[in-house]
Amino acid sequence: MTEQLWWQTGIIYQIYPRSFMDSNADGVGDLPGIRSRLDYIQSLNVQAVWLSPIFPSPMHDFGYDVADYCGIHPLFGTMADFDALLADVHSRGLKLLLDLVPNHTSDEHPWFIESRSSRDNPKRDWYFWRDPAPDGGPPNNWLSTFGGPAWTFDPHTGQYYLHQFVSQQPELNYRNPEVLAAMLDSMRFWLDKGVDGFRVDVIWMMIKDEQLRDEALNSDWDGFNPYDRIQHNYTHNQPEVHDLIREMRKVLDAYDERMMVGEIYLPNDSLMKYYGQDLDECHLPFNFQLILAPWKASVVRKLVDDYEAVLPAGGWPNWVLGNHDQHRLATRVGPAQARVANMLLLTLRGTPTCYYGDEIGMENVAIPPHMIQDPPAVKQPELAHIVGRDPERTPMQWDDSPNAGFAPEGVQTWLPVAPDYKTRNVAAQDADPASMLNYFRALTALRQSEPALITGSYRSVDAGMEDV
C-alpha cells in the first residue's frame, strides 16, 4: 500500500468567513475571528480548513468577485492577520486551503478596468468582448446562472462582455495564454506563503467554445431555474479545460504536498476526466452526488457503488454533504437523517468535506425579504426560495448569548442569526454527550484512529430491508 497524503487521510472543513466569527463587531466574520476559534476546529478532528474567498472584492457575489488575487479584504482583516492565522493553523498540524476564483474577476479588478477602457487596450482580449447582434441584442443566447443574459452592453466601447454569474463578474478568456500565466502567478503568491492548496471555483467552466456558438434549447427543462432553459454544451466542460488544469497542477507539483480540489458539477463519466489521464489534474474533483440525490438508501447505495466502480486507478474518492451554495443538510434530509448522513460521510472511503455548522445540525434560516442579499435571489425574487443561498450562510451558532456568540450583543449581523440558536449551539452541544456535535466528534475520532476507515476498501451489504 502506498503511503497516503494529508488530503487523503484528513477531513476538510469549509468555513464561510463572513459567517464564522466576528472579532471586531461589524456584523461580518473575519480572520482574527477564525483564529480565535482554532481550538474548536481542532476539536472536530479535521485536518484542513478551506476558506471561501477572503480577497479584496466589492462583494457583488460575496467575495467570488475578486478585485485583487493577492490581497486580503479589509472586512476580513489584514495580510498580517492572514499570516498569523496561517502560522497558527500550521503550528497545530492543520492545513489551510484558499478559494481560487479563476473563471472571472470583479469588474473592479485592474485587469478589467484596463480591458474595458478601449477596444485596443492590450488587455482587451483578456475578457470576452463582442459586437452586438444585428438587432442590437447580445452576441449569443447564453444565460447567466443568476438570471438574465450572460452578456452586458458597455456603452463606452459599444460592445458586450460575457459573465455567467452577476454582471460584475466578467469572464476571463483562457484562450489568451497571458491570462493563464497571470492566474498561475497568483497561485504561486499564496503557495510561496505556505498555503496548502486551493478549492478552485467553477473549474469546469473555465474555457468556452471558441466560436461562442448558441446553445441548444433544453427539452428536459423542468420549468424552474431559467438558466436551465438552454443546454450548456458550449460553456461547460470544454475539452480544452484539461490543458489549463494540467498547467495549474504543474504549479502545485513544484511545491511539497500541495493540492487542489475542483468545483465540478458533472455526471461521473465527465467528472472522472478531471483526475487527469495520468492523475495530473485535480487531486480531488468534488463529488457532489450526496447533495444532489434524493435521500433514499437504495439511491445512495447505487450512487456509491457506481462512483466506486468508475474511479480511475489511483484516483482518490471524496464526498460532500453541504456547502455555501446548497440548502443545509439538516433541512434537506431532516435532523435525524442528518446524523445518518454524517455517519455515511465519515465512514465512506475517501476524503470527506464538512460545511461549517453541519456538525451541530444547523438548518436553513428563513430570510426576511428586506434582508435578502444573495444575487440570484435579489434578481429573481419569485425564485428566492429555490435559488437563494442566504439561508445556508447564516452566522455560526456558538452559544445562547445575543447574536449566538458570533458577534457582540447589539451588533446587526450581515444575515440573521437562526431563531433556534438558544438551543442549537456549540456550547450546549459540547455539554451534551448525545448531541450532534459529540456524535460528529466521535465519528471523526473513530475515522482518524481506524485505518480501515481511511485506507480500507468498500462494498455495500444487502440488509434485506426496504430503504436500509
Q: Which residues are known catalytic residues?
A: 201, 263
Q: DSSP character for 398? A: -
Binding of ligand NOJ by 26 (CB under 6 A): no
Question: Which one, 45 or 144, has the nearer CB to ligand NOJ?
Answer: 144
Q: Which residues contact 145 (CB under 8 A, 6 or more apart)?
A: 164, 165, 227, 376
Closest separation in Å from C-beta 354 to ligand NOJ: 16
d(CA 306, CA 294): 16
Helix 177-193 vs helix 241-253: angle between axes, to the nearest 10 degrees? 30
DSSP-derived letter for residue 400 is: S
Q: Does 108 bind ligand NOJ (CB under 6 A)?
A: no
Residues 416-455 that bind ligand NOJ (CB under 6 A): none
Q: Write the CB contacts of 427 (distance below 8 Å, at least 6 apart in sequence).
A: 398, 399, 400, 405
Nearer to ligand NOJ, 271 or 404 (CB): 271
| One character per residue 236-275, x = contact with ligand NOJ (rule: CB under 6 A) | ---------------------------x------------
Sole binder of ligand NOJ in the list 13, 50, 64, 440 (CB under 6 A): 64
User: Which of 26, 209, 325, 430: binder of ligand NOJ (CB under 6 A)?
Assistant: 325
Of 202 and 346, which has the nearer Cβ to ligand NOJ?
Answer: 202
The vertex-342 CA angle with 15 and 286, nearest 5°, equals: 55
Using CB under 6 A as the binding rule, whether residue 201 contacts ligand NOJ is answered as yes
Indicate the SS3 state at residue 49: strand
* 45 neighbors 11 (Cβ within 8 angstroms): yes
From the list 343, 362, 344, the residue with the least C-alpha distance to 426 is 362
- Can residue 225 be called a binding residue for ligand NOJ (CB under 6 A)? no
The residue (of 54 and 443) whose beta carbon lies closer to ligand NOJ is 54
> In the complex with ligand NOJ, which residue's Cβ is closer, 163 or 249?
163
Q: Pick from 12, 49, 202, 384: which binds ligand NOJ (CB under 6 A)?
A: 202
- Rule CB under 6 A: say whether 143 interacts with ligand NOJ: no
Closer of 68 and 399 to ligand NOJ (Cβ): 68
Shortest distance, position 166 Cβ to ligand NOJ, whole Å:
8
Number of H helices, E strands in the chain: 17, 11
Residues 6+ apart with CB under 8 A from 300: 290, 293, 344
Instruction: Indicate the angle between helix axes 436-449 and 335-347, nearest 10 degrees.
Output: 10
Residue 217, C-alpha cell as written in the block: 434549447
Footprint (CB under 6 A) of ligand NOJ, residues 158-187: 165
Q: What are phi and psi of 36, to 5 degrees?
A: -70, -10
Q: Which of 61, 171, 363, 392 binds ligand NOJ (CB under 6 A)?
A: 61
Contact 376, 147 (CB under 8 A): yes
Chain residues binding ligand NOJ by CB under 6 A are: 61, 64, 101, 165, 201-202, 263, 324-325
